Amino acid sequence: MKIFLIGYMGCGKSSLGKKLAKTANMEFVDMDSLIEQREGASVSDIFAYAGEAYFRQAERNLIEELAEQETSMVISTGGGVPTWEDNMTRINSIGESFYLRRTAQQIASRLSPHGRYKRPKLRGLNDEELVEFMTKNMAEREPYYMQATHVVDCSDKSDECLVEYILDKIKG
């Protein structure tokens, strides 16, 4: 079984993914971290020296690599993965995807200065610009995110509650 967590930057895919994997006794893969580790560079640096298309191809290659593995895993995707080529169709053919849905306001209020800095698309935006950019960008991405097998309204739910919800869905 492969569980893909998808959603906008900063919606909590990685932290929830870790808890979910631990509870379900599954392997945890954070796509951004694995790509950074292999490239020996941060996502921001990869964007800067190789360009976004290179990074998107690395993401797709990783999805294909994970598809080959027999192990059960929770995979935390980067926020742009669903918007690239036919990634959502491919992801849904490999396992089940969960869209962690939050509003731009909620995400902006959770995002630390470092969290903003390390993401090339958010770096340098002030508070007002951040919410404005996210609102517009999320609206463009929503049709891709909505292709997920499950849409999870995360607004007022704790991680523990979300873990339980997701485990319940995959059992059912």
The whole-angstrom separation of Cα 79 and Cα 133 is 14
Interface with ligand S3P includes 43 (CB under 6 A)? Answer: yes
Backbone angles phi, psi at 127, to 5 degrees: -55, -45
CB of 15 to ligand S3P, least distance (A): 10
Assess 120 for contact with ligand S3P (CB under 6 A).
Answer: yes
CB closer to ligand S3P, 79 vs 95: 79
When asked if residue 82 is in the footprint of ligand S3P (CB under 6 A), the reply is: no
Among 4, 5, 62, 78, binds ligand S3P (CB under 6 A): 78
Q: Which of 18, 90, 121, 169 binds ligand S3P (CB under 6 A)?
A: 121
The verdict on 111 binding ligand S3P (CB under 6 A) reads no
Letter string b/e over residues 155-172, b meaning 16 or more CB atoms within 10 A of that residue's CB: eeeeeeebbeebeeeeee
Regarding 9 and contact with ligand S3P (CB under 6 A), the answer is: yes
Tokens standing for residue 79 = 């926020």
Kindly write down the DSSP assignment for every residue of 87-131, as one continuous string: HHHHHHHHSEEEEEE--HHHHHHH--HHHHHTSTTTTT--HHHHH
Using CB under 6 A, list all residues that contact ligand S3P.
9-10, 13, 32, 43, 78-80, 119-121
